[in-house]
Amino acid sequence: MSTTTTESKQKRASSNAPTPGLEVKGPAVSKQMLDGAQALVKGLEREGVEYIWGLSGGAAIPIFDAIVTTGTKIKLVLVRHEQGATHIADGYARVTGRPGVVLVTSGPGATNTVTGILTAHMDSVPMVVLTGQTISPMLGKDAFQEADVFGITMPVVKHSYLVKKTNDIPRIVKEAFHISNTGRPGPVLIDIPKDISSAPCTAELDPPMDLPGYNPVIPVDKARVMAIAEALRKAKRPVLLAGHGVLISRAWDSLRRLAETLQAPVTTTLLGKGAFPENHPLSLGMLGMHGTAYANKAMVECDLVMSIGSRYDDRIIGQAPKFCKDAVRIHIDIDAAEINKMIRVHHWCVGDAGEILDELTQHVQRLDTNDWLNHLNGYKKKFPLKYKKYGGLKMQYILDELDKLTGCNAIISTDVGQHQMWSAQFNKTTRPDGWLSSGGAGTMGYGFPAAIGAQFAKPKDQVWAVVGDGGFQMTMCELATAALHKLPVKVLVLNNHYLGMVRQWQELFFDNRESGVNLEGNPDFAKLAECYPGAKGFTLKRGADIRKILKRAMDYNDGPSVINAEVEKADNVYPMIPAGRAIEDMILEAPKYKMEKPTGST
Amino acid sequence: MTTSIANPHIAQSTGNHTISVYVTNKPGVLARIAQVFARRGYNIESLVVSPAMDGQFSRMTIGLSGNPEGMEQIIKQTSKLIDVLRCVDHTDEDAVTKELALVKIGAGAGQRAEVLQIGEHFGCKTVDLTDTSMILQCTGNSEKIDALIGMLGKFRIIELVRTGKVLMARGDGLT
């Protein structure tokens, strides 16, 4: 059970040098001198935390104070809205593979994190959220700034704690980080009443964990791997479907070895972008609702599909009963609850993607896929992603140029909507940490703060936030955070003055009746950026200026830049599989007849 | 052509399910479990929570009705919760299932003898007796209690309280 993990974790922790603050005072003295909040900060130090993103408030003052009194090296970054803190932590976590840490106060401070927690939960992102809480005697009495955050967040966390005893803090912090970033990662919330964080902490600072119900280490089931290898041997038209799990498991090299050994094509989900280089000859790019035609056609025609670390979600499978219905379906996932959830599979293996792929690669040889690959290459030639360079300024044109200028080597963080899908299509991801997007939750306002988090994690890398005018306005207050920390995040606002994806649906399925989609009254985003000291604003209106303006933003590295790109107002994203329809129903261009209303939700 | 995949933890019979969940005795566990069922549209018919032999843990026995197709998911999602050590769907074949009922009957001198006779047949105890009423205590499986209540239907049942099912795996099996 979890004792093995506990022991190994303890060994690792005890082999580390003691935390600097403690070394001087000696453990016995420091124990007496610490309060709960200081013990909390010591716990964060032990976990190797570099940054805390937060916004202060009454119930969290002892914790903010402890950041000062402990003299910790952890850097506190004051954000402008708590949602921003969670998305920044999320972006940092996706790029580094380490949990992002958020610190906020009780009540509204805590509830403002809910969207960010949901976003992390849906996309399996490790995050630890610390929330202040009213003093324990006042719990449940509607005290000022009291909210039942433990209850409110319960459905969107991997686990959560309401701390009742100060001496539990060191253990809880240790458990929170362990839970957050092992197995299938996710957000963990620790709600800390102010009297608990203020009281003296006399507990051992590196206590054993107490998690008898949690065992994230799953040994590879070799019999299951052999069954998968056997199925692969018989396949003539296999497709490997790589999801976020490949990235979380850091299994991109293992995946590549398997794909190259088999000579099997690889498609990725939106969140799997980066799991397999999109400029590789075996890459089919992204599949799904707005995926490439060739990836989706491959799903229709394949005789075997093997998902590695994706959850066969509704954006991918379209209509569950029709999805790869005649193919052998295989699922590799670390979460047993994902197996047979969306579709029934013939073979599956639960565990770490990298370990399973490495074991599997030992038992397979090159498949006879020449005909299949030639066939798919034919589709690539026949149905390429395309757009018109002339006429109105197209988002696709800008993104295509961005891809060329950055040599697909930048980190791209997107918001949600049309620009997100076009960016997924045209910004080829070749590095495992090169793509950040809110996939499961589809959170507008994610892109810009997540880019800030990525920039904190990789100060020297080029980070682009590709956002729409709708989503950007939800979290653009973090321009202050980016400017203050001189982060050279480049924000590309693809401004069509619309909530474009909804407008597209209204055009296609609701007789073009626009309702609640017109963003009249947008500010001039370039001018707005210039209001923040150190931030630069650019305006892009013509195709001829794309390269020039993108380069100017690339050359400015003393703070954030915002490009306000005035793009064509009413363009539509294709290919498209209407929600709830089968992949076979994919349309490649504007339909000539009125389409039925989709049966799927969105 | 999809292979049907049998999970040893899932009772193969359809209809009502009785699930035993072994959990750490921590605040919020019940809420987390209830949420898994509620979100999937399952109705909890009965629920018994009590400390396990080791006081650090608790035992929950949950009677459920809902779509049997989704039961596999429910079990997996419940098992996934950090505070859950074990979650098993039991059938009558692999486990002993019992519940207890208290039935208060409005019965004066004229009816008392017949009520007691029925009670005796079902192995009931009379745990309260007044001039106008009596309380019968019955233990057994749910069908037996249903039958008792059916028999008592011709009298005036003032109140009925059932504990809900508890169960224990037969033989060497773990509950």
Which residues of chain B have a CB within 8 Å of the CB of A340?
A: 5, 72-73
- CA A352, CA A254: separation in Å to the nearest integer? 11
- CA B149, CA B137: separation in Å to the nearest integer? 12
How does DSSP classify residue A81?
A: S
pTM value is 0.92
A26: pLDDT strictly greater than 70: no
What pLDDT is stored for residue A32 in this prediction?
53
A528: pLDDT strictly greater than 70: yes
Share of chain A above pLDDT 90, in %: 90
- Cβ of A214 and B3 within 8 Å? no
Out of A122, A421, A444, A501, the active site residue is A501
What pLDDT is stored for residue A83 in this prediction?
98
User: For A397-448, how does the pLDDT look when each residue is reduced to its tens digit (9 = 90+)?
Assistant: 999 999 999 998 899 999 999 999 999 999 999 999 999 999 999 999 999 9
User: For A446-497, how does the pLDDT look when each residue is reduced to its tens digit (9 = 90+)?
Assistant: 999 999 999 999 999 999 999 999 999 999 999 999 999 999 999 999 999 9
Task: Over range B122-148, report the average pLDDT.
Answer: 96
> Parallel, antiparallel, or unpaired for β A490-495 and A561-566?
parallel
- CA B119, CA B148: separation in Å to the nearest integer? 8
Which residues of chain A have a CB within 8 Å of the CB of B84?
A: 213
Q: How close, in Å, is residue B149 to chain A by CA atoms?
A: 39
A190: pLDDT strictly greater than 90: yes
Which residues of chain B have a CB within 8 Å of the CB of A329?
A: 2
- CA A54, CA A86: separation in Å to the nearest integer? 9
Q: Which 3 state secondary structure label does DSSP give A73?
A: coil
* Helix/strand/coil percentages in chain B, nearest 5: 30, 40, 30
Measure CB to CB from residue B77 to each of A150, A212, A337 and give the nearest one. A337
A1: pLDDT strictly greater than 90: no
User: For A277-301, how does the pLDDT look when each residue is reduced to its tens digit (9 = 90+)?
Assistant: 999 999 999 999 999 999 999 999 9
User: For A227-257, how does the pLDDT look when each residue is reduced to its tens digit (9 = 90+)?
Assistant: 999 999 999 999 999 999 999 999 999 999 9
The amino acid sitting at A163 is V
B120: pLDDT strictly greater than 50: yes
Task: Report ipTM (2 d.p.).
Answer: 0.88
Q: How many residues does chain A have?
A: 602
| Residues in chain A whose Cβ is within 8 Å of chain B | 150-151, 154-155, 158-160, 162, 164, 179, 210-214, 326, 329, 335-337, 339-341, 344-346
Measure CB to CB from residue B82 to each of A162, A211, A345 and give the nearest one. A211
Q: How close, in Å, is residue B3 to chain A by CA atoms?
A: 6
User: For A204-213, how does the pLDDT look when each residue is reduced to its tens digit (9 = 90+)?
Assistant: 999 999 999 9
- Cβ of B82 and A340 within 8 Å? no
Task: Over range A356-367, report the average pLDDT.
Answer: 98
Among A184, A138, A193, smallest CA distance to A165 is for A193
What pLDDT is stored for residue B15 in this prediction?
59
Helix (H) or strand (E) holding A240: strand A238-242
Share of chain A above pLDDT 70, in %: 95
**Contacting residues for A300 by C-beta, under 8 A, at least 6 apart:** A583, A584
- Cβ of A337 and B76 within 8 Å? yes
Categorize the per-residue pLDDT at A56 as very low, low, confident or very high, splitting at 50, 70 and 90: very high
Task: Over range A127-139, report the average pLDDT.
Answer: 98
